[in-house]
Amino acid sequence: MSKFEFPPSIKSRPVWGTLEARQGPAHLFISDAEGAEAILDVATPEIMKTAHIIYIPKGADFADQLRALNPAQFYEGPSYAASVQRIRKTLEDAKMGLQVYLSGTEGLMGQAQNEAMQAGIEFNAIQTEHRGSTARRMQCVHCKGITEDVETDPFVCSHCGLNLFVRDHYSRRLAAYQGVCIDAEDPGNVPEPKGIYE
Amino acid sequence: MTIQFNDETFRDDYSFRNSDWAIKRFPFPFHEDSYMYSVNMEQHRGGPEGSVYEKRFDVDEHYVAEMKDRAMVLADDPLRCQSLPHMTLAGWDLLELIMVSKSEDYPDLFELHRDGNNWRWVNKPMGIDDTFTFLDETTLPYGPMEYITRQTQGDFCVLDQRDDNLWMDAGMVTTQADWSLDFDIGMNFFEWHAPVPLAHEMGIFQRALKFLLNIQQGAPARRMNWTMTVNPLLDTSPENYHKWGIQKTTVTPENIGAKQHLRVELQTFFRLPRSNALVFPIRCYLCSFQDMMTMPKWGRRLHRVIRDLPDELAAYKGFIDNRPMMLDYLSQFDDGQPTSPGVFPEPDTEPALKT
């Protein structure tokens, strides 16, 4: 599957990379949906001997292929929220030199990156690769409510109901883009929603 | 001079007013008849007597009312004041800087008595007389940054310095020009400025960062920034934009002189001694168009600046829709005569408006 090329943007917007196999005593892969393909691309039998894969399918069908890589540990979770305690425990127990690989949607990578940074792993040492949906995790600046997988701009806040403009401004701490009321100066004048990258 | 503090509001009935004294010392930000971004840093080592540049932390007639407004904002939204765990020492540095500066610069208003780490702070305008132990958080009602910035006009960003960058890791932000501390906390210098148009491409932020990283203890710097605000509203936060944005549509040719305010930020930068953090106070001054027009030089100049400002900047600063109405109003105060250089109004030497 071809990768989506994000258009150039402002400096707070995250830039994702391409996973590469690195030397290390242990390897933690956190991935959702089509992010599995990025793992399949870099997995080697050597790495899988000490690999822990945490995978959230989100309706995609890669779990069996990942299991077939025969990693030391494999977990398939129903949601990111359900897996986060396991991610934290894994990071807490990690030894120096752990390699972290994140792949899939921006929402997953952003949140997992945050956990890894809070566990003391250098931001630049965390590998990432975007695959699959370009939907955004978004925080409404007004009610602070987070909405996952926002695909259109503008969109209606799922918490407070305001019409929000989907900005490129991004907070690593919140792992979210910012949504700001689009019709504050002209209530009801809301453009027809379209895909964020259309 | 003893300051008479105004009983006034920055919301609802907007009873905020500038006295003649406050108009004359308003920090008009344009030193010439045009404006473009620049780093425009200078040393913050005093200025003309009575000007807003004279003291390290200017106190004016709006002090008590601004602190009441801040307390209301914080009661509604405590996330306007945040400090990441590693920033507490910088908060103590800031508390010391402000207490020492204010007690030295305004001895009739503020007193600081120190006996080792046992400190007594007297803030007469706000009726505060507290005794506490320096560097012991349990002896103050708030963290040190919050405690002192609830008593000091202006927003405060406390920036950690590491990896050749500055990080927005603590702040008290209740009078901001439409940016969110809660969203931006933890960002580096380039990230929190990311939404600003044009300036990145002009290299402004690279040069500004280089300058700021090298600010030394005892050698603070300052610069000005500005935007426009309808009504004297201090809390122009993104959090509340859905509530205040509509006010921009209430401007008419009849009320624009009273409603439209130039919003000026006096930004200063101080190195903090123990933490090596940089504190970045952003002090907001508001002045209505009609009050500014009492100074012929400012009338001529403001018209020329607003008329010639690039569209991107007028859009970013949020007044592009109202610009034609502003120009209709301001053009009445521009008779085409030259203006003298510099920001000060020069009311005694500048020619009166030709009618």
Q: Could B238 and A141 be called an inter-chain contact, meaning their C-beta atoms sit closer than 8 Å?
A: yes
Pairwise CA distance, residues B289 & B276, whole Å: 40
Per the CB < 8 A criterion, the answer to whether A135 and A151 are in contact is yes
Q: How far is A142 from chain B (nearest CA, A)?
A: 4
Q: Among partner residues A10, A172, A181, which is closest to B242 by beta-carbon distance?
A: A181
> Nearest residue of B to residue A183 by CA position?
B242
Residue with tokens 């380039």: B190
Q: How many CB atoms lie within 10 A of CB B73?
A: 22
- pLDDT at residue B304, as a whole number: 98
Q: How far is B188 from chain A (nearest CA, A)?
A: 9
Q: Could B190 and A186 be called an inter-chain contact, meaning their C-beta atoms sit closer than 8 Å?
A: no
Catalytic residues of B: 223
ipTM (interface pTM): 0.91
Per the CB < 8 A criterion, the answer to whether A130 and A2 are in contact is no
- pLDDT at residue B192, as a whole number: 95
Q: Could B239 and A169 be called an inter-chain contact, meaning their C-beta atoms sit closer than 8 Å?
A: no
In the structure encoding, which two tokens stand for residue B114, read together? 């120190």
What does A106-149 look like in DSSP terms, one character per residue?
Answer: HHHHHHHHHHHHHTT--GGG-EEEE-S---EEEEETTT--EEEE
- Chain B contacts in chain A segment 67-86 (CB below 8 A): none
Residue B252 Cα distances to B115, B260, B294, angstroms: 58, 10, 20
- Chain B contacts in chain A segment 135-154 (CB below 8 A): 139, 141-142, 144
Direct distance between the N- and C-terminal alpha carbons of chain B, in angstroms, rounded to an integer: 37
Q: Among partner residues A10, A174, A180, which is closest to B238 by beta-carbon distance?
A: A180
In chain B, where does DSSP find H-type helix?
Answer: 20-24, 63-76, 88-105, 144-149, 181-184, 189-192, 204-213, 241-244, 256-259, 289-292, 296-308, 311-316, 323-330
Chain A residues with CB under 8 Å of B78 CB are none
Q: Could A144 and B182 be called an inter-chain contact, meaning their C-beta atoms sit closer than 8 Å?
A: yes
Q: Confirm or reject contact between B33 and chain A (CB < 8 A).
A: no
Chain B residues with CB under 8 Å of A184 CB are 241-246
Q: Confirm or reject contact between B186 and chain A (CB < 8 A).
A: yes
Q: Confirm or reject contact between A181 and chain B (CB < 8 A).
A: yes
Pairwise CA distance, residues A30 & A80, whole Å: 10
Walk along chain B (355 residues) and give the pLDDT tens digit of each residue.
Answer: 589 999 999 999 999 999 999 999 999 999 999 998 777 899 999 999 999 999 999 999 999 999 999 999 999 999 999 999 999 999 999 999 999 999 999 999 999 999 999 999 999 999 999 999 999 999 999 999 999 999 999 999 999 999 999 999 999 999 998 899 999 999 999 999 998 878 888 888 999 999 999 999 999 999 999 999 999 999 999 999 999 999 999 999 999 999 999 999 999 999 999 999 999 999 999 999 999 999 999 999 999 999 999 999 999 899 999 999 999 999 999 999 999 999 999 999 999 999 7
Pairwise CA distance, residues B53 & B47, whole Å: 5
Pairwise CA distance, residues A26 & A43, whole Å: 13
The residue ranges of every structural domain in chain A are 27-130, 136-195
Pairwise CA distance, residues B229 & B245, whole Å: 10
Q: Confirm or reject contact between B200 and chain A (CB < 8 A).
A: yes
The domain over range A27-130 is classified in CATH as 1.10.10.1100: no
Write out pLDDT tens, residues A42-83: 999 999 999 999 999 999 999 999 999 999 999 999 999 999
Across the A:B interface, residue pairs with CB atoms under 8 Å apart total 64
Q: Could A185 and B246 be called an inter-chain contact, meaning their C-beta atoms sit closer than 8 Å?
A: yes
> Nearest residue of A to residue B205 by CA position?
A11
Q: How far is B7 from chain A (nearest CA, A)?
A: 30
Q: Confirm or reject contact between A124 and chain B (CB < 8 A).
A: no
- pLDDT at residue B208, as a whole number: 92
Per the CB < 8 A criterion, the answer to whether B106 and B59 are in contact is yes
- The residue type at A57: P
Pairwise CA distance, residues A114 & A110, whole Å: 6
- pLDDT at residue A2, as a whole number: 62
Query: pTM value?
Result: 0.94
